[in-house]
Amino acid sequence: MSCGDCPDGRKFDLIKEFPEKTKQLNDFIDALDIGPDRNRNRGFLIESLHEAQHIFGYLPRSVQQFVADKLHLYLSEVYGVISFYSYFTDRPVGKYKISVCTGTACFVRGANAVLEEFKRLLVLENGETTPDRKFSLASLRCVGACSLAPVVMVNDQVYGKVTAKMVADIINECK
Amino acid sequence: MIDSVETLNKRVEALRRESLAATRILVSMGTCGIAAGAAPVLAELRRLLAERGLENTVEIVETGCIGQCYAEPSVEILNPESNSGITYGKVKVSEVSMIIDHLADVVPGLETVNKTWYYPEDEANADNRLQARIVLRNSGRIDPEKLEDYLKNRGYQALAKVLTGMSPAEVVKEITESGLRGRGGGGFPTGMKWSFAAAQPAGRKYIVCNADEGDPGAFMDRAVLEGDPHSVLEAMIIGGYAIGADTGIVYIRAEYPLAVKRLKIAIRQAEENGLLGKNIFGSGFNFKIELKYGAGAFVCGEETALIHSIEGKRGEPTFKPPFPAVSGLWGCPTVVNNVETYANVPAVIRRGAAWFRTIGTEKSPGTKVFALAGKVENVGLVEVPMGTALRDIIFNLGGGIRDGKQFKAVQTGGPSGGCLKADRLDTRIDYDTLTALGSMMGSGGMIVMDEDDCMVNIAKFFLEFTLDESCGKCTPCRIGNTRLHEMLDRICTGRATGDTINKLRNLAYAVKDTSLCGLGQTSPNPVLSTLANFEEEYEAHIRDKKCPAGVCTKLITYLINDNCVGCTLCARNCPVSCISGERKQKHVIDQDRCIKCGVCYQACKFHAIDRI
């Protein structure tokens, strides 16, 4: 499990480091109908984690522990959920989150060549982030814009009908 | 506040009188429309209408997806009186002013899009159109963020009918008699599901909407949620009344931000108008709807896994029985239906089971929405009566294969489905015919493939998906699929030996027969169906170490032949600079450095590059 390590090896605790963000998450969870029944509280876990990831960008151990404490759950239960669902990540993501759609429609129209080109140019494997935390590369399954296949998303921006040739331009646009 | 049928009807009448605009301009603002650039077109429309003082006579409606994704951004000019209109496709910002100049007639030279559908609830199919829109009846026609638009289009009439004139048992009976089957995949009769839950002793029960559309390449649920969210809410309230539940939960993908936003708006509007909450339509029936978010797990489409996910656990399925209708969310009777299933319910209630049965086939009444994608001209959503021939969908509605290539196969049912080849194009598809052919309806993804697609590679692609998404709880799915994938990988990289096909087939059947849930039980389908239809392609990979479609990079080589005139185009395009040669001299590819990307092959204008 990653602990929110910095690239330079320095360890820090996001919860202590960013009191404002922590307060935001704290207020969100306090507004939920949390009771003494642990089992019932679990029902709020996924939405709490969505909010936490929205606030902090990722879910390192310190944030997981915070959510676990607030919902009276064990850290293992929280980590079990985070590791199961692909939407949650316990590693920091880059400023530019590049997602190559590898749904079926994009696949048959050549998404693999696009993904390979991103890997080659960014020197990243699928699911990794550059050391300067500028770019993250991931594949995702279907954004539902199949008429524009193959599709690449950079944060919220959608690029349609992408070819391997366009990849360098897309990366340059981010810089 | 709508607290009785009278207030509902009065409200609708008032709304009809209010709509004075002589012309309505519909701009498709679903995810695909926005991605294709609908927002600047919309802004230009607004700007020009204001500039020309037309804001009061022309009403702009931001609709959801109309289904013709290939033509986005699309703009429809509608005359509300005759209910007829002109739809322009692929509209550019620069063309907007021409469109406004010609509100009453077609702008010469602009691309228009023909409607290939009719609305069975409103009209007879006089000119034999292929599509019949029940589920998508409002998508692309109303503003999904306005309750008023839904009300004007018979919104909440079915709910009024149910709450003021039908007993819960009558509702279940109507749905059962309609023959409506679950549109999420399996095709289980909806009425039967409801009757099981209704038969449970009174107490806490739940109605759940599965909006966690996970099939890569299917997006009809998103279109309904973005284009007509109230229809899903209305159906859930009806379902709640039928089984005796007071809470509904929509389990929706977090990856669908626009659908989430519109659903939230719709729930708030329904609450503010008394359509959700206490004593709906003065009937004493109470119902509330909550949203729960998925977090990216395909297996959560399985109902027991989905329920665990709502409970905040890992989305792992459990053995059935007990079925959720008996013991589901928090141990209470729970009905889980998919978005498209719910979208049918208000129409069934309004027009009755007998009407619904006039559409589709005897065992699969109604329509099915397919997400047509891949190598067809017209990518988009089509809604056709069950029993429509594949050929009509692909070649008529889909406009045939892109770039004049040869049709090779169509894949239905996503990662759980199978491939059908050309000799099956005349199959009239419904749940049972597809299952009989070794594929399945699934959620309605329909991916068309042409001669350039390698079927072994396609099977491998789907297995990769299953591997990613297998929850790992049961051994056949966790390990069996891993081994299947390894075998396919060996085939695609030329490392397979003679008996691989037999091993592949045996293991595929073993995984199918012994997995715990639907995901594992269907995951070998892509392998088995491609084996059944394209065994010679597998053999070419194994025996000859060749990929006939030229896809598997380990099995292909690019060579420059004597047609080369030395134009240097290939060398300039090569991303790894592995092509060398003097200008006007034959070039050479350095095979050790070649990454087999095929860029040179596509770039060459002299057919000087062979792919062997």
- Do A74 and A100 belong together in one domain? no
The residues spanned by each domain of chain B are: 19-116, 147-356, 367-450, 455-543, 557-611
| pLDDT number for residue B20 | 65
**Inter-chain touch A160–B36, beta carbons under 8 Å:** yes
Region of residue B222 (left: phi > 0; alpha: psi -120 to 50; beta: else): alpha
Q: How many Cα atoms occupy the beta-carbon half-sphere of B563 within 13 Å?
A: 10
Q: Is A72 helix (H, G, I), strand (E, B) or coil?
A: coil
Decide if B236 contacts B207 (C-beta within 8 A): yes
Q: Which CATH class is domain B19-116?
A: alpha beta
CATH T-level assignment (fold) for domain B367-450: Ubiquitin-like (UB roll) (3.10.20)
pLDDT by residue (tens digit) across B417-441? Answer: 999 999 999 999 999 999 999 889 9
Rounded Cα–Cα distance for residues B612 and B189 (Å): 51
Return mean pLDDT, chain A.
Answer: 89
**Inter-chain touch B312–A44, beta carbons under 8 Å:** yes
- For an interface test with B, the pick among A46, A102, A115, A148 (most B C-beta atoms closer than 10 Å) comes out as A46
- Residue in chain A nearest B32 by alpha carbon: A145
A25 in any annotated domain: yes
| pLDDT number for residue A9 | 52
Rounded Cα–Cα distance for residues B289 and B276 (Å): 8
**Inter-chain touch A103–B216, beta carbons under 8 Å:** yes
| pLDDT number for residue B83 | 74
The total number of structural domains that make up chain A: 2
**Inter-chain touch A87–B255, beta carbons under 8 Å:** yes
Of B296, B461, B598, the CB nearest to A87: B296
User: Does B569 or A142 have the greater pLDDT score?
Assistant: B569
Give every CB contact of residue B102 below 8 A, 6+ residues apart in sequence. Answer: none
**Inter-chain touch B69–A146, beta carbons under 8 Å:** yes
Which residues partner with B88 through β-bridges? Answer: B75, B112
Considering only CB atoms, which chain B residues are within 8 Å of A68?
A: none
Return mean pLDDT, chain B.
Answer: 94
Q: How many Cα atoms occupy the beta-carbon half-sphere of A17 within 13 Å?
A: 12
| pLDDT number for residue B575 | 84
A120 in any annotated domain: yes
Q: Which helix (H) or strand (E) holds B191?
A: helix B190-199
Strands B407-412 and B334-338: unpaired
Question: What number is the ipTM of this complex?
Answer: 0.90
With a cut of 50, which residues of chain B have pLDDT below it?
Answer: none
- Do A126 and A162 belong together in one domain? yes
CATH T-level assignment (fold) for domain B147-356: Rossmann fold (3.40.50)
Decide if B88 contacts B110 (C-beta within 8 A): yes
| Buried b or exposed e, range B361-373, using 16+ CB within 10 angstroms | beebbbbbbbbbb
* Distance to chain B for A77, nearest Cα, Å: 8
Decide if B556 contacts B541 (C-beta within 8 A): no
pLDDT by residue (tens digit) across B198-245? Answer: 999 999 999 999 999 888 888 899 999 999 999 999 999 999 999 999
Which tokens in the block code for residue B278? 């206490």
- Do A116 and A155 belong together in one domain? yes
- Do A18 and A61 belong together in one domain? yes
- Of A84, A109, A141, which residue sits at a domain end? A84
| pLDDT number for residue B588 | 94
A90 in any annotated domain: no
Cβ–Cβ contacts within 10 Å for residue B127, how many?
6
**Inter-chain touch A117–B575, beta carbons under 8 Å:** yes
* Distance to chain B for A112, nearest Cα, Å: 10
Rounded Cα–Cα distance for residues B439 and B427 (Å): 12
A23 in any annotated domain: yes
If we measure between CA atoms, which residue out of B219, B222, B221, B217 comes closest to residue B448? B217
Give every CB contact of residue B385 below 8 A, 6+ residues apart in sequence. Answer: B132, B359, B360, B366, B367
Share of chain A above pLDDT 90, in %: 65
pLDDT of A4 above 60: no
B557-611 maps to CATH 3.30.70.20: yes
| pLDDT number for residue A19 | 93
Q: Which CATH class is domain B455-543?
A: mainly alpha
A34 in any annotated domain: yes
- Do A41 and A103 belong together in one domain? no
- Do A110 and A170 belong together in one domain? yes
Rounded Cα–Cα distance for residues B330 and A80 (Å): 20
A8 in any annotated domain: no
Considering only CB atoms, which chain A residues are within 8 Å of B310?
A: 43
The residue assigned the tokens 């067809």 is: B376
- Do A76 and A120 belong together in one domain? no
A89 in any annotated domain: no
**Residue A129 belongs to what domain range?**
96-174
| pLDDT number for residue B529 | 95
CATH of the domain at A140: 3.40.30.10
**Inter-chain touch A39–B311, beta carbons under 8 Å:** yes
Exposed / middle / buried, residue B355 (Cβ in 10 Å: 0-12, 13-18, 19+): middle
Of B293, B311, B379, the CB nearest to A50: B293
Of B217, B256, B314, the CB nearest to A80: B314
Cβ–Cβ contacts within 10 Å for residue A147, how many?
24
| pLDDT number for residue B148 | 95
A102 in any annotated domain: yes
